[in-house]
Structure 1
Amino acid sequence: MGAHSARHLRRILRLHLVRSDLRDVADAAELALTELVANVVRQVPGRRCRVCFQLRPGGVRVEVADDCPELPVPAAADALDEGGRGLVIVAAVADRWGVTPYPDGPGKTVWFECLSRAVPPAPRP
C-alpha cells in the first residue's frame, strides 16, 4: 500500500456511501479511513492490509486489517508534533471504533463505525 492508496479508497468509499443514501457520513468516514491507512503506511512492515466497507442501514463500518502484531494506541501528541493524532482523530469523527486482535495469530483489525443522522424518507402511502 502506498501513500496514494488512501485517495483511491476514499473515492470508492464515497461512491458507495452516496449510492446508499449515506452522504451525511461520507466526510467523517473518509477522514477516519485516511487516518487508518496512514497508520498502515507508517507502522506496518510491508504496508500490507485488507480494507472492508460494510454498508448497513443507517451507517457504515470500515475495517482495516493487517498481520502486524503491534496494537495501535492513541498517542498523547504534543502540540508541536507532526504526527501521533490519527486514532484521536478517528475517535473524534467516528461514532464507535476499536481494535480486534486476531485470536489465532499475529495481527488485528482496526475498525470504526459512522452512523447517519439523516432522517429516512417517509414511506409512501
Structure 2
Amino acid sequence: MGFTVGAHSARHLRRILRTFLTRWDMAGLTDDAELALTELVANVVQHVPGRHCTLLILRRPDGLRVEVADEHAGCPRPVRPECRGEELDEGGRGLLLVEAVTDRWGTVPLPGGKTVWFECDV
C-alpha cells in the first residue's frame, strides 16, 4: 500500500497492523510491532520530502516482517545517546526503540530510495 503520511497517519496504520496480527493469531506481537511501525512512519514524516511511503506487512512462518519504503536516499542509523550533544534531545532515538523491541531490523538501499524493515518473531 502506498501512502502520503502525516502526523496522524501512524494511528491508522497501527490499526491495520493490529487487524492483521489478530487474524494471524500473533496478537502477542502487537505492542512491539506497533511501536516499531510508529517510529518508521515518524521518520518518513520528518525526513522524506513529500512524505510518501509504501507499507508492506508480511506474515512469516515464525512471525512478522514490516517494510516501509520511501524515495529518500539516506539510510537511517540509530543515534546512540552517548554520541548526542544534549542528553534530553527528543530526536534521533526512534531507531534505538525499533532495535530494542524487534528481533531484527535493517535497511535496503534502492535506486532512488530505500526500504527500512523490521521483524518480530512469535
TM-score (norm 1): 0.88
Structure number with bigger Rg: 1
Greater displacement, 51-60 / 7-16? 51-60
In the alignment, residue 9 of structure 2 is paired with which amino acid?
S
Q: Percent identity?
A: 61
Task: Give unmatched runs, 5+ long, in structure 1.
Answer: 117-125
Equivalent residue for 1:44? 48
- Correspondence 1:102-113 to 2 at 5 A: 102=110, 105-113=111-119
Q: How many matched pairs?
A: 114
Equivalent residue for 2:10? 6
Equivalent residue for 1:123? none
Task: Give unmatched runs, 5+ long, in structure 2.
Answer: none
In the alignment, residue 85 of structure 1 is paired with which amino acid?
R
1:47 CA displacement: 0.4
Superposed structure 1 runs of 4+ greater than 4 Å apart = none
TM-score (norm 2): 0.90
In the alignment, residue 19 of structure 1 is paired with which amino acid?
R
- Correspondence 1:1-125 to 2 at 5 A: 1-77=5-81, 78-102=86-110, 105-116=111-122
Higher strand share: 2
